[in-house]
Amino acid sequence: MKRALIILALVGACAATAIFWLGLRSDPGDVSMTSPLQAPVGISTEERGHYLVRVGDCMACHTRQGGADYAGGRVIPTPFGDFYSPNLTPDPETGLGLWSADDFWKAMHEGRSRDGSLLYPAFPYTNYTKLSRDDSDAMFAYLKTLPAVKQPRREHQLQFPYNYRFLLVGWRALFFRPGVYQPVGAQDAQWNRGAYLVQGLGHCSACHEARNALGAVQSRDNPAGGLVLNWYAPALSAPAEAGVQHWPKEDIVRLLRDGIAPGASTLGPMAEVVYESLQHASAEDLDAMATYLKSLEPSQPPPASGAVRVPAHAVDDMSKRGATIYADHCASCHGEAGEGAPPAAPALRGNRAVTMDSAVNPIRIVLFGGYAPGTAGNPRPFGMPPFGNTLSNQDVADVMTYTRSAWGNQGRPVSSAEVARNRQGPLW
């Protein structure tokens, strides 16, 4: 018995040592790897950094509404509590003024702050670790040119036990492996450029990936759909959701650049990504992203999160009531048979945004409305008015159940409880 206890103690000590080593280890990174993104001739390091910061959409998290650019303070709601983004301007007291390029590299590559403390992965260093050192240095050089703004950092408001930062040691041991992107030899330069953008700089999996109970993405390389900022980021590999494997490449580029494409448009947080970030990407980078996204292995869509079963005997009555609501409020724009009137109103018939298993996005669009982004390719976007003050939870459930099953659509019914849940929380 005593011997068994000693063995168990030794095993426990070894396991604890391994966890602490994996969670706290330092990784200088392969600084010899250069970026797959070739800089135009004659562009300065700061100008290149400005482009990278923009394509990386740093402003989305690090600029609060009405605040100075990159001065932080935006709240990022998560199931674990509210995170507040830090100040990226070169203010010496509250921003990056005292940081060096090495400090910034450690944050991007290893998820460590200047003082060595571990960063919460709400900051997507799990993606940024793929960036090359030269890209990290260029981004830092640009941030140092910003006007310094004194904006003290707000403390995160996290639930127990996530407010204990030392627990990140275990999380990192389980879920984080730093590493600069390594080109895939079997793929050409354009594919690798797209993979670098999607997996790394663009950090697409930070939204388009289901997360486990501890908030870790399940696969950075094959995004599989996930809830973020109260919206559903559809699976980029599932043709029934956001997979574009069978799209013409020019339509993928148009959706990323303009926010609209034949049969698709971006709304909610993704519209912000297009407006703030992707519309400014170069034609070469957009083509590379499209090349990579087309190559993803098609997958089945994940099961809907938060779906509430509707009794079979109730569906017919819901659909009948929904048909009446649709005729009164929706048909004038979307057509009596859901055929739509592009570009003002998209077709609902055969629209995968309507029929996908997750009903979060169409519910929120009915409740709160939505607009595609205003871009050079879509300078006067049409929008959907909000019906949240006009229709009850049951009304929305009824019309959603109708549109998801009419005209050949084959979506599941939607319950009033699911609608009520999506009235809660900030818009995004």
Do 145 and 103 reside in the same domain of the chain?
A: yes
Do 327 and 409 reside in the same domain of the chain?
A: yes
Is the residue at 152 inside a domain?
A: yes
Do 284 and 212 reside in the same domain of the chain?
A: yes
Output the domain CATH number for residue 370: 1.10.760.10
Residue 275's nearest CA partner among 265, 285, 284 is 265
The pTM of the whole model exceeds 0.85: yes
Is the residue at 25 inside a domain?
A: no
Domain count, the chain: 3
Do 62 and 142 reside in the same domain of the chain?
A: yes
Q: What distance in Å separates the CA atoms of residue 222 and residue 205, rounded to the nearest whole number?
A: 8
Domain boundary among 264, 295, 326: 295
Domain boundary among 252, 267, 295: 295
Which residues does 263 contact at the CB level (< 8 Å), separation at least 6? Answer: 346, 347, 351
Is the residue at 427 inside a domain?
A: no
Do 165 and 44 reside in the same domain of the chain?
A: yes
Do 354 and 414 reside in the same domain of the chain?
A: yes
Is the residue at 254 inside a domain?
A: yes
Which residue type is seen at 240? A
Is the residue at 302 inside a domain?
A: no
Do 64 and 168 reside in the same domain of the chain?
A: yes
Q: What distance in Å separates the CA atoms of residue 360 and residue 153, rounded to the nearest whole number?
A: 32
Give the model's pLDDT for residue 42. 80
Is the residue at 347 inside a domain?
A: yes
Residue 76 DSSP one-character state:
E
φ/ψ (deg, to 5) at 394: -70, -35
Do 43 and 169 reside in the same domain of the chain?
A: yes
For the chain, 428 residues long, give each residue's pLDDT as a single digit of tens. 665 555 555 545 554 455 544 555 667 777 778 888 877 778 999 999 999 999 999 999 999 989 999 999 999 988 899 999 999 999 999 999 999 999 999 999 999 999 999 999 999 999 999 999 999 999 999 999 999 999 998 999 999 999 999 999 999 999 999 999 999 999 999 999 999 999 999 999 999 988 888 888 876 555 567 777 789 999 999 999 999 999 999 999 999 999 999 988 999 999 999 999 999 999 999 999 999 999 999 988 877 666 788 999 999 999 999 999 999 999 999 999 999 998 889 999 999 999 999 999 999 999 999 889 999 999 999 889 999 999 999 999 999 999 999 999 999 999 999 999 998 765 65
Domain boundary among 265, 295, 325: 295
Q: Which helix (H) or strand (E) holds 77?
A: strand 75-78
For 152, the 3-state DSSP assignment is coil
Q: Which residues of 161-177 are buried (b: 16+ CB within 10 A; e: fewer)?
A: ebeeeeebbebbbebbe
Q: What distance in Å separates the CA atoms of residue 258 and residue 399, rounded to the nearest whole number?
A: 30
Which residues does 218 contact at the CB level (< 8 Å), separation at least 6? Answer: 209, 210, 211, 212, 224
Give the model's pLDDT for residue 21. 45
Do 75 and 169 reside in the same domain of the chain?
A: yes
Q: What distance in Å separates the CA atoms of residue 81 and residue 87, rounded to the nearest whole number?
A: 20
Q: What distance in Å separates the CA atoms of residue 51 and residue 323, rounded to the nearest whole number?
A: 48
Range of the domain at 193: 189-295
Do 53 and 140 reside in the same domain of the chain?
A: yes
Do 133 and 222 reside in the same domain of the chain?
A: no
Output the domain CATH number for residue 231: 1.10.760
Is the residue at 217 inside a domain?
A: yes
Is the residue at 14 inside a domain?
A: no
In 10 A of CB 405, how many CB atoms?
18
Do 144 and 194 reside in the same domain of the chain?
A: no
